[in-house]
Chain A
Amino acid sequence: MIYTPSSLAVIVFLFMVIGTVALSFYLGSKAKSSAGYFAAGGEIHWFVNGIAFAGDYLSAASFLGICGMVAFFGFDGFLYSIGFLAGWLVALLIIAEPLKRLGKYTFADALASKFQSSGIRSAAGFSTLIVSIVYLIPQMVGAGALVKPLLGLQYWQGVVLVGSIVVIIVVTAGMVSTTYVQFLKGGLLVIFSLVLTILVLNRGIQVAPGGPRVEPQRVTIASDGTKLIDGIPLGLKEGQKNLQPVGKVLSLSEGKQSTGPLDPIRFLTELSGAQVELSQTNKSTVNDKPVVEYAPRVVDGYEMMAPGNHPTFKGIRQQQWFPKLDFVSLMLALFAGTASLPHILIRYYTVKDQASARKSTIVGIAAIGFFYLLTLYIGFGAMVSGSMDPSDSNMAAPLLAKSFSELLFAAVSAIAFTTVLGTVSGLIVAAGGCVAHDFVAGMLGMKLSDHQLIRVAKISSIVIGALAIMAGLAFEGMNVTYLVGWAFAIAASANLPALLMLLFYRDTTKQGVIWGVLVGTISSVLWIAVCPEMFKSLYGLDPKQAWVPFSQPGIVTIPLSFIVIVIVSKLTARAHRTEANETLTS
């Protein structure tokens, strides 16, 4: 679908980007020390940090992905909202305060604090890098996909643009600028989502004129490479054709034509009695050329409030065990992954004490939870707006905004872009800090001055930014929500078992922690590499040939990491006691 280029969108977008970079340079002139660069000197106010948590966490997958998924597949998108938020309780109730008490700059600080082990530091550094890079991929893919329709740029230009801006933000001022970018982005995202929700409820639901569409919309490629819609060149000029939007309400309960303004509960009850026309994408190949068909799909509102409409979740409607396990495994990864994400964990070091860590997490949960409630209304509002692009579910929220006003579209699009900036900058700060502290200073034992540490982190940030750009280009077209689910699964398998065992299992040894982190990381990455989704989407092979029966590894690899920690700790308990005694006597 082609969107009319909006100069307003470009102006608002440029204003946000220039403002963000200017803020970074201003804050960069203030942060000179290593503590300032890596942890904002521990001087961020807990409320600012709490909203920055929201800005850090609510990525493109949360905003564009979940709203789009709710708009096209109903309740399934909301399952992500529930899982993502539930994970924050693990962070608040179990992780936040011990992490702040035990660490200084990186997640590895806390993990290595008990044993002062460079081995633990290296293993935790390894898992931090892997998780950060895997989580960067969907962010960059989302950035490329977003910039394409909004600014008329090519996919690769979007990826390079985001990568470059983020590296500038991180290199200029580190955690200070990252925090304020995330604070602004988190605050704006929640405010504008609330505005969108109020507008959706105020508009209510109306039956669209005209009956249901009968014929599918067919996209083919001509011999000269031109994209054709039902045989007519794609475009907005005369003699050209654009894809028609979907999301028409065909009927409401009791024969109503319009509901008028609704409250949040009445909106859901009215929607559950409505019939809506969406689209179903069918891909095929004719004469070695790809053909995509967007066939009309009429759904009951009530059916859209049940899980299992999206391909990722369809397994829960089946009788077989493996598809059900795949679903349970994903929900487990979302639950356990949040408190294991490196860019989230390092935010606990930017506040002054444990009480601030606790209070900022509560503010973060309030902002994130409120936002996730709004995603339900934004998604369902888009579903009945008659403005959705059948070829790109990620555009549901911006196009819903466009159905109200051009200015709102411009603002929501610019905020969506800054969601990517905020999350990517957090990930690059975490990864850069990990290279400087855990590998160069920790594993290699190099004694570096404050200035040298910052320089190492900055160079690492540039390299990681370049890697993220390359990964974003390589994974074009990959399912963003799947990639995010995998990042959560790797983080949950690698980091959470080690953290929990260190806190609650007295007999944990340093070897147990090292092996737990390594086995959790490697087993989850290997599982993903040979899973059905990877066979289908990346290798282009029959998913039935995959080496493992389902695609989400968490349900296997998280318990595996726990088991490894217990077994290795038991096996090395004697050596550990001897070492401890020797340390005491010496």
Chain B
Amino acid sequence: MHHSANITEHEQDHVIARRQRIGVTLMILFTIAYASFIGLCTFAYDWITQTKVAGIPLTIAYGVGLIVLSLFVALLYGILSRTRS
């Protein structure tokens, strides 16, 4: 009984650690996308405001893209966490 409890605990720790790795990896990727946006707005103002994507200023396209990316990352994390556990 004690032995099986240890195994369950170990498995739980393993699952938690793996989920944490997924979370941290996705976080780093999203932070890069967010920081790049802030960096472009701050230090490449002329470029980001004058570039167009599908007729829309890049500022708007990038901003909307970040919101869509947030939704995608959240869903991806939900799926990866479920299948991994």
Contact = CB atoms under 8 A, between A and B. Distances in A.
Interface of A: 75, 78-79, 81-82, 85-86, 88-90, 92-94, 97, 101, 265, 268-269, 272, 302, 305-308, 316-317, 324, 327-328, 331, 335, 355, 358-359, 361-362, 365-366, 369-370, 372-373, 376, 503
| Interface secondary structure of A, over-half rule | helix
Given A86-B34, A366-B74, 7 more contacts: A265-B55, A272-B57, A307-B49, A327-B38, A369-B68, A369-B71, A503-B20
A82 B40 CA distance: 14
Contacts of A305: 49, 56-57, 59-60
Contact of A89 (B19, B38, B64, B74): B74
Most buried by B among A82, A324, A376: A82
Interface of B: 16, 19-20, 23-24, 26-27, 30, 34, 37-38, 41-43, 45, 49, 54-57, 59-60, 63-64, 66-68, 70-71, 73-75, 77-78, 81, 85
B49 A306 contact: yes
B60 A94 contact: no
Contacts of B23: 92-94
B81 A358 contact: yes
A82 B37 contact: yes
Contacts of B49: 305-307
22 contacts: A75-B63, A81-B63, A81-B67, A86-B34, A88-B70, A90-B27, A92-B77, A93-B24, A93-B26, A93-B27, A93-B30, A97-B19, A265-B56, A268-B55, A268-B60, A269-B56, A272-B56, A307-B45, A327-B38, A369-B67, A369-B68, A373-B67
A328 B42 contact: yes
Given A89-B70, A316-B42, A82 B63 contact: yes
For the complex of A and B, the 7 pairs showing the least CB-CB separation, nearest first, are A93-B23, A306-B49, A269-B55, A365-B74, A305-B57, A93-B27, A362-B78
A265 B67 CA distance: 16
A90 to B, nearest CB: 7
Contact of A365 (B43, B57, B70): B70
Contacts of B73: 89, 93
Contacts of A79: 41, 63
Given A269-B55, A306-B59, A362 B74 contact: yes
Nearest to A89: B30
| Interface secondary structure of B, over-half rule | helix
A328 B42 CA distance: 8
A341 B77 CA distance: 22
Given A272-B56, A306-B49, A362 B75 contact: yes
A335 B34 CA distance: 9
B56 A82 contact: no
A335 B38 CA distance: 11
Nearest to B26: A93
Contacts of B59: 75, 305-307
Given A269-B55, A327-B42, A86 B66 contact: yes
Contacts of A316: 41-42, 45
B53 to A, nearest CB: 10
Contacts of A93: 23-24, 26-27, 30, 73, 77
A502 B44 CA distance: 36
A263 to B, nearest CB: 12
Contacts of A328: 38, 42
Contact of A265 (B54, B71, B85): B54
A269 to B, nearest CB: 4
Contacts of B19: 97
A89 B77 CA distance: 10
A372 B64 CA distance: 9
Contacts of A308: 45
Nearest to B71: A369
Given A75-B60, A86-B66, A324 B42 contact: yes
Contacts of A94: 23-24, 27
A331 B30 CA distance: 14
Nearest to B52: A272
A86 B43 CA distance: 20
A85 B14 CA distance: 30
